[in-house]
Structure 1
Amino acid sequence: MDWIWDNAARIGELTAWHAALSVIPTVLGLLLAVPLGWWASRSARIYPLVIGGSGLLYTIPSIALFVLLPQVLGTKILDPLNVVVALTVYSIALLVRVIADGLASVPHDTVQAATAMGYRPWQRLWHVELPVAVPAIGGGLRVAVVSNVSIVTMAALLGIPQLGSLFTQGFSLRLTVPIVAGIVMCLVLSVVLDVLVHAVTRALTPWQQKAETA
């Protein structure tokens, strides 16, 4: 416990970095996955290509991606941008299928009614289809952000500060306390972000809550 109290400020700083490196790629991945998911949901021929291609992205080993991206982006190996880009790729891989299936589940009558009211395709997407698909997309976001919390720790092998740094420090010093502290903080961060995404999802779907209580 003495080690934890002595390093409380550093643990807090690493947690803040870890949260940023987990949340930012999730948000960017969502923004990029929406048009891809919408495109896939519109064509049975394109669907397997987009979903299959995005799924393959998740099979790329994270440590290999962290090492290769500096050469592709022209950044330094310690630049956090490499982690943001890598995790954005993984977020896209997880979210494209969720968004495509969520949009495809929107009742056909709802889509037809929006079209009859004069909504253009993109207007219909933002004002009708996405709001109806929010519960499904929210579930995918919860998986993506928690997954990112886990993957970020691999960046500690490259020296990028976040909670994974406690693992490498504990290993090099042969101390168990830093490793346990890192694991506990990752678990706490995962729970906090999961609850936050769930709360936002519920806030965006008040009609669903009314239906549940009816």
Structure 2
Amino acid sequence: MNTAPKSEAELLERARQIAGMSFGDLAKPANMRVPDNLKRDKGWVGQLLEWHLGATAGSKPVQDFPEIGVELKSIPIGYNGKPLESTFVCVAPLTGITGLTWEASHIRNKLSRVLWLPVEGEREIPVAERRVGSPLIWSPSKQEEALLKNDWEELMDLIALGDVNQITARSGEVLQIRPKAANSRAKTEAYGTNGQPIKTLPRGFYLRASFTSYILETYFA
């Protein structure tokens, strides 16, 4: 594994070095077995890229490159150059949220500086043959952050009011909350409508594919 990059420039250079390479080529030096498909190995691509780029966070709730304040996000892209799915950002807090602000939130920290790495994602391409695209480093503009903050505040209000189970994938313009669990037996604490503790599926924050598509179109151009 690479040591942690000491600067954004060094991270970007590493990302450029693996652009155009296949997952199969990248898996060999990392000593990682290439899965037949990614249904059961959703995090595999991220782990492979982290190994090559020198990410140190692991599963800790910080940015992937905490030393330089950058988060890594890979985006599976279709033949049309557009993202194939929404992008997981982080787990959504369901308890202990009194007084929490967007400015102090974990999600804002994660999205403050992002290294986007598009990867080929069409299912018919064997996993080993899928290639990594060109990297892009991004921070949200004032307008983009306003959209994210607005969605975050509306979604967090619903959680605080005990309406977590009323949130659907349609809630939120650029940001959505969806169940994030290995199976339906995984439950976590939340609040009910009367403030009583309830058990529900863990939730995650996701960026809509329309928003990541807009980022790629706007900033790669």
Fold agreement, TM-score > 0.5: no
More helix by share: 1
Higher relative contact order (CA 8 A, sep 6+): 1
Larger Rg: 1
More strand by share: 2
Normalising by structure 1, what TM-score? 0.29
Normalising by structure 2, what TM-score? 0.28
